[in-house]
Amino acid sequence: MTTQTATQKSLVVKVEGVTKVYGVGETAVHALRGVSLEIEQGEFVAIMGASGSGKSTLMNILGCLDIPTQGDYWIRNLNVAELDEEQLSVVRSQLIGFVFQSFNLIPRTTAANNVELPLAYQGISLHKRRERAREALASVGLADRGGHEPHELSGGQQQRVAIARALVTKPAMLLADEPTGALDTQSTKEILELLHEINRSGATVIVITHEEEVARAARRMIRLRDGYVVEDVKWVA
Amino acid sequence: MGGLGLREVWRFAWRGITANRMRSSLTVLGVLIGVSSVIVLTAVGTGSAVSVQQSIQKLGTNSITVSALGGGRFSRSANSNAKQLTISDATALNDPVKAPDVKSAAPVLQANGVSCTYGNLSSSPQSVIGTWPSYFEAANSPVSAGTYWTSDDVVAGRPVVVIGTTVASDLFGTDSPLNQVIRCHGQSVTVVGVMKTKGTTGFQDGDSIVIAPITFIQRSMSGYGSISSIQVEANSATTTTAAMDEVTAIMDAQHKIKAGGSADYRVLNQASILASSNQSGHTLTVLLGIVAAISLLVGGIGITNIMLVSVTERTREIGIRKAIGAPKIAILSQFLIEAMLLSLLGGLSGVLLGVGISHFTILGVKPVVSLSSVLLAFIVSALIGLIFGGWPANRAASLRPIEALRYE
Ligand SMILES: Nc1ncnc2c1ncn2[C@@H]1O[C@H](COP(=O)(O)OP(=O)(O)OP(=O)(O)O)[C@@H](O)[C@H]1O
Ligand SMILES: [Mg+2]
């Protein structure tokens, strides 16, 4: 029944009553206390909230990197709780692009090799993925840095490599957890522009941010506090 | 492999190995040391056992020696009617009816303190013995030049000798000693043959020897008393035990020893010495094998440690790979192939090094490499690499991506 509703509205994300509890008993931390959300294909969503409000916890669940304690989560019309380990890896590979605050590039591996990695796990031929990795790097303005290893790149450049890696598979949604948290204003601007470009090409973009101007640039803002959604506003650009 | 070809996995594994050369070479080194030390140590053990066997085999496994018990120092006090060995004992042993397994028996008479000269050169043989021609076969002592003297020479008591190579080189250098006349104990004797080189066993120089007809030694050097020992040869190595029983029966009759009485002679066989030395050689191999197993274990713990550390260190990387869509099987096979490549590389170079070292003489022993030790060392190290590379990788690949990413 719920599956039907999801397809009707062309939802890409549907979250219902999701909670997340870390630890047990006395020391248990309730990071999410019952979150329900619907996000449509092509939206640009900013998630805001104070430190510790549960933003990253929610994002990790949306990216299938973690599982909720309770509640349901559908991507497109797939009930994530019903997927096995292998199907989950296919979802991560085909539908999701994830950008971390701390870049998370594989060390001692060139930018080009980092970017082509998700394609390799999709079984795309070496020749094709080289080509697409080159294109993705060019689209983030790093056409000439493919041969460099992460430690030879600036923070902004590393984050752009990470974004290239996330968008190279042309995912249905791109999740970015404070992608500009470690960057200066100039790099922040460039990264944001990149995210909007990706959004314009059709992908759903969900970004966690502390900065009001980032949120203003989005078309929807969700605010979390103590594990609850306290604000969810959309405005027409 | 979830869309990912095996060739890709190999590529990732190779990249993983070359990305951290230090860690990879340490792993290889650990396997290498473990494998090569097992091979070398067991080779030394086997080698020493083999060399002991060979030196005993030179004496001949068919040979049986009958010697008088306490014929010298202890005889009077311990056993007053102990008889010495005589020529007639030796004659009695050459009995095809009573002793069918005995091929020949020859009396051996030792002359002491004899030195020989040729011109102004001299030699002091460790042993000068008188015997019968059958001695040459019984003692496994063929002649390399000339011939040995015959039964006729024994009957006539002719002054003819066969000499060992040490005596030959003392007196003649590189010249041929054949048909030359030398002087031993003031007697002129003719050299008719030279023994084949036997080599040295401990302090015993098997080539410092002069062998003459027993009648000649009795007449000119030692007198007609008792003889030193009797050299018996069995028909074959397998009948040696039967031959010993026959020798004992005949000797008991000769010396009038009643059943259950204590004999005044001793029957000794090379095979029994060989058996006991095999035993000690085996003990040595086992001992070195244990040492080798311990070093393999220590090497194995080293490999285990490096594998554990490297996978733990790379848990974050595993998390990243999972986050971007790597299936568990792809990660697992990458790490298994990495571990396998490192173990194989270490194992192969360990085999090469071990076999190489075993070509040298170590502590006076020529090592003998056994295939089983090579296989054992190789397989054990490969298994250790696979298990302790695969197990933590499996653990890490089973984590949720976020758990692996948070891993410190
Ligand atoms: N692995 C974990 N184990 C235990 N508690 C955790 C874990 N991860 C997060 N938490 C707790 O859950 C709550 C929410 O954390 P979360 O990381 O989602 O916050 P956040 O909104 O992303 O904060 P920030 O803006 O600082 O990144 C916090 O109180 C945090 O301490
Ligand atoms: Mg966070």
- For the whole prediction, is pTM greater than 0.95? no
Q: Are strands B229-234 and B102-111 parallel, antiparallel or unpaired?
A: antiparallel
Torsion angle defined by CA atoms of residues B338, B344, B347 and B352, in that order, rounded to the nearest 10 degrees: -130
Domain boundaries, chain B: 6-55+276-406, 70-263
Name beta bridge partners: A15. A37, A73
Domain coordinates in residue numbering, chain A: 44-59+86-234
Q: Which of A60, A85, A93 sits opposite B325 (nearest CB)?
A: A93
Q: Each residue of A188-201: b (16+ CB within 10 Å) or e?
A: bebbbebbeebbee
Inter-chain residue contact A121 with B400, CB threshold 8 Å: no
The pLDDT of residue A46: 95
The widest CA-to-CA distance across chain A, in whole angstroms, is 55
Q: Are B12 and B334 in contact (CB under 8 A)?
A: yes
| Fold of the CATH domain A44-59+86-234 | Rossmann fold (3.40.50)
Spatial distance between the Cα atoms of B117 and B172, rounded to a whole number of angstroms? 10
Q: How far apart are CA B254 and CA B265, in angstroms?
A: 11
Q: Is residue A71 lining ligand 1, measured as CB closer than 6 Å?
A: no
The more confidently predicted of residues A136 and A215 is: A136
- List the Cα angle B402/B406/B408 in 5-degree steps: 150
Phi first, then psi: what are they for B183, rounded to 5°?
Answer: -115, 125
Residue A119: pLDDT band (50, 70, 90) is very high
A28 Cβ closer than 6 Å to some ligand 1 atom: no
Strand partners, A75: A13, A78
CA B396 to chain centre: 51
CA dihedral B357, B361, B362, B366 (to 10 degrees): 100
Q: CB neighbours of A60 closer than 8 A, spacing ≥ 6?
A: A66, A177, B402
- Closest alpha carbon within chain A to B322: A89
pLDDT of residue A137: 94
Answer whether B402 sits within 8 Å of A65, measured CB to CB. Answer: yes
CB-based contact B140:B103 (threshold 8 Å): no
CB atoms A86 and B327 under 8 Å? yes
ipTM, two decimals, is 0.92
User: How close does chain A come to B355, measured CA to CA in Å?
Assistant: 37
pLDDT of residue B200: 67
List of residues 6+ apart from B274 with CB closer than 8 A:
B53, B56, B57, B61
If you measure CA to CA, which chain A residue comes closest to B330? A121
Kindly report the protein residue whose alpha carbon is nearest to atom 3 of ligand 1.
A22
- Ligand 1 atom 25: residue of nearest CA: A51
Q: In A, which residues are within 8 Å of B17 by CB distance? A: none
Q: Cβ of B4 under 8 Å from any chain A Cβ?
A: yes
The answer to whether the CB of B41 falls within 8 A of the CB of B292 is yes
A65–B4 CB contact, under 8 Å: no
Higher pLDDT, A19 or B309: A19
Does the C-beta of A32 come closer than 6 Å to ligand 1? no
Question: A168-207 pLDDT, tens per residue?
Answer: 999 999 999 988 877 788 888 888 888 999 999 999 999 9
Looking at residue A155, its amino acid is G
Q: What is the pLDDT of residue A188?
A: 84
The whole-angstrom separation of Cα B226 and Cα A175 is 109
* Cβ–Cβ gap B325/A122 under 8 Å: yes
Is B20 in CB contact (< 8 Å) with chain A?
yes
What's the token pair of residue B387? 């298990």
Contacting residues of A for B327, CB less than 8 Å apart: 85-86, 89-90, 121
Is B325 close to A63, i.e. CB distance below 8 A? no
| Contact check, Cβ <8 Å, A92/B8 | no
B-chain CB neighbours of A63 within 8 Å are 323
- Side-chain-facing half-sphere of B144: CA atoms under 13 Å: 12
Answer whether A108 sits within 8 Å of B330, measured CB to CB. no
| Chain A residue with Cα closest to B403 | A66
The answer, for B330 touching chain A at a CB cutoff of 8 Å, is yes
Instruction: State whether the beta carbon of A54 lies less than 6 angstroms from ligand 1.
Output: yes
For ligand 1, mutation pick of A24, A27, A35, A57 (most atoms within 8 Å of CB): A57
d(CA B71, CA B84): 6
Residue of higher predicted confidence among A229 and B342 = A229
Minimal-distance CA residue of chain A relative to B404? A65
pLDDT 10s digit of each residue in chain B, 408 long?
445 677 778 888 888 888 888 888 888 888 888 888 888 888 888 887 777 777 666 666 678 889 887 644 443 434 445 578 888 898 998 888 888 989 889 999 988 888 999 988 999 998 899 999 888 876 556 788 888 898 899 999 999 999 999 999 999 988 999 999 999 988 899 999 998 887 766 567 778 999 999 999 988 887 777 888 898 888 887 788 888 899 999 999 888 888 777 888 888 886 666 666 666 667 777 777 787 777 777 777 776 777 777 777 788 889 999 999 999 998 888 888 888 888 888 888 999 999 999 888 877 778 888 888 888 888 887 787 778 778 888 888 888 999 999 887
Q: With an 8 Å Cβ cutoff, is B317 touching chain A?
A: yes
Distance B109 CA to ligand 2 centre (A): 103
Say how far apart CA A148 and CA A221 lie, in whole Å: 36
Among A14-23, A92-101, B53-62, B391-400, the minimum mean pLDDT is found in B53-62
Q: Is-contact A220 A232, C-beta < 8 A?
A: yes
Closest alpha carbon to B135 in B52, B208, B69, B209: B209
Give A108 Cα–ligand 1 centroid separation in angstroms: 29
Give me the pLDDT at residue A7, please. Answer: 47
User: In a 3-state reduction of DSSP, which class is residue A11?
Assistant: strand
Which residue's alpha carbon is at the smallest distance from atom 5 of ligand 1?
A: A22
Cβ of A56 below 6 Å from ligand 1: yes
Which chain B residues have a beta carbon less than 8 Å from that of A67? Answer: 400
| Residues in chain B closer than 8 A to A166 (CB atoms) | 324
Among A61, A62, A64, A65, the strongest candidate for a mutation testing the B interface, having the largest count of B CBs within 10 A, is A65
The answer, yes or no, to whether any atom of ligand 1 lies below 6 A from the CB of A49, is: yes
